[in-house]
Chains A and B, each alone.
Chain A
Amino acid sequence: MPDLPKPVDLAVPGFIALMILEMLFVRWRARGAYEPRDTLSSLLLGTGSTVAGALTGGLVLLTALWFYELRLFDVGWAWWAWGLCFVLDDLAYFFTHWFMHRVRWGWASHVVHHSSQHYNLSTALRQTWTGFFSLVWVFRLPLFLIGFHPAMVFFCAGLNLIYQFWIHTETIGRMPRWFEAAMNTPSHHRVHHATNPRYLDRNYAGVFIVWDRLFGTFEPEHDDERPRYGIVKNLGSFNLVWAAFHEWVGIARDVAGAKSWRERWFYVAGPPGWSPDGSRDTAEAIKARWEATRAQPAE
């Protein structure tokens, strides 16, 4: 196993420096927002995520190496392989991210990242404790089967994560048009974190926004509709354990009370908010209601 550096570990001092700069900017220009308990929650959830990753990383690595043994090609370490690996890893991330939003099992793990009502650089570090359990890492397995070495894939995944740090901010409006066309940006990702019906379940990209444009999930940020951050039913609590596990608790309760195997399946694998009688809200239901409201003539 080649001994490559861990990009995220090296980037941590930069993360802290940029957060402090953003705080000073927010104080100076009153653009963006920070709140002490929210920041503390986000950063402690990030620390917990690192611990959880360290505990389960060995199993993910073993699985990756096992898949790599079954590889179809020897991609090797040429310069072009790095570029191709980065692009394909970002595509795999897009599908992972789609799963994390459209399937409740994935959402139970990912919801923690969206559970802050703030959108600042500390939100980027608000990460899951249950990523291994939610199986989101399986979306990278095809890369090992193709023949990309796990060390290369994990290095590229680290770079991807670092890229996604700086886009969690309200202090940057829009980037140049050519950049907004191809890359994920603060503007595109603000849409992703917003609960406005128009913005729900949009912009899944990690680095390249072209995936959303290609697969029909792109939504631009509208100047007349400021994003409202958080989740559809905001927690109203800064409790870390509740933030990390509340949706898993919800799944367990629903499955325990389900009346059939169909219900059990949809409580786990259906979209977040699914219920047998439609009494809860999925993103699609909220969007449909919003569209209906818009269509009504103003009183």
Chain B
Amino acid sequence: MNWLTLAGSLAAVLVTAGLVKLLGLGRGDALDAATACRLAGDAHVGHRFVAAAIARDGRSALVEGGAGEIALVRAHGDKWVTRLLARPLAARVEGDALIIAPRETMFGATTLTLGAAEAARWAAKLQDGADA
């Protein structure tokens, strides 16, 4: 491999990925409660999630299982990632939004705009609750 080949490869990579954007591919859908519960249940085998709080933009949600466990569902591109949240978890409320950051390298914080009351309710659950 020489520098010219490498430069050509990088150019081809950028053009190809740019074409995906140009074609309008990869636009994600908004979550609903049933989908959020299903996604979390699929990812965490043996858990059954029954209730969900969906962020207003439809791109993240908190879901609660029958045994009191809580999972985060968050958009990743046009797909979803989920995490079972170990409690107590640092969670803070800013206006209408709940901000949580699972203790995990590179996962980052998630801001869920839930409304002030709902955000405060979930923050209390996450901060105070022992792991289910």
Name the prevailing secondary structure of the A interface residues: helix
16 pairs across A/B with beta carbons < 8 Å? Answer: A23-B19, A26-B25, A27-B24, A33-B78, A34-B23, A43-B17, A47-B10, A50-B1, A54-B1, A117-B77, A235-B106, A236-B81, A236-B107, A242-B106, A289-B45, A290-B46
Inter-chain contacts of A293 with B (CB < 8 A): 45-46
Using a CB–CB distance below 8 Å, which chain A residues touch chain B?
A: 12, 16, 19-20, 23-24, 26-27, 33-40, 43-44, 46-47, 50-51, 54, 117-118, 122, 195-197, 228, 230, 234-239, 242, 246, 249, 286, 289-290, 292-293
B17, B26, B45, B46: residue with the most chain A Cβ atoms closer than 10 Å = B45
In Å, the complex CA distance between A36 and B106 comes to: 20
Closest chain B CB from A286 CB (angstroms): 5
Check B77 against A238 for contact (C-beta < 8 Å).
Answer: yes
New contact pairs (11) apart from A37-B26, A236-B83, CB-CB < 8 Å: A27-B23, A35-B77, A36-B20, A36-B21, A36-B25, A38-B77, A47-B10, A51-B6, A117-B81, A197-B45, A293-B46
- Number of B interface residues at 8 Å Cβ cutoff, please give it: 33
CA distance A51 to B79 in the complex (A): 29
* Identity of the chain A residue whose Cβ is nearest the Cβ of B27 in the assembled complex: A35
When distances are taken between beta carbons in the complex, the residues of chain A under 8 Å from B13 are 40, 43-44, 46-47
Contact present for B42 and A23 (CB under 8 Å): no
- Closest CB-CB distance, B13 to chain A, in whole Å? 4
Residue on B with the closest CB to A239? B106
Which B residues are CB-close (under 8 A) to A290?
Answer: 45-46
Q: List residues of chain B with CB within 8 A of the CB of A238.
A: 77
| Chain B residues in 8 Å Cβ range of A43 | 12-13, 16-17
- In the bound complex, how far is the Cα of B10 from the Cα of A47, in angstroms? 7
Q: Is the CB of A39 within 8 A of B46?
A: no
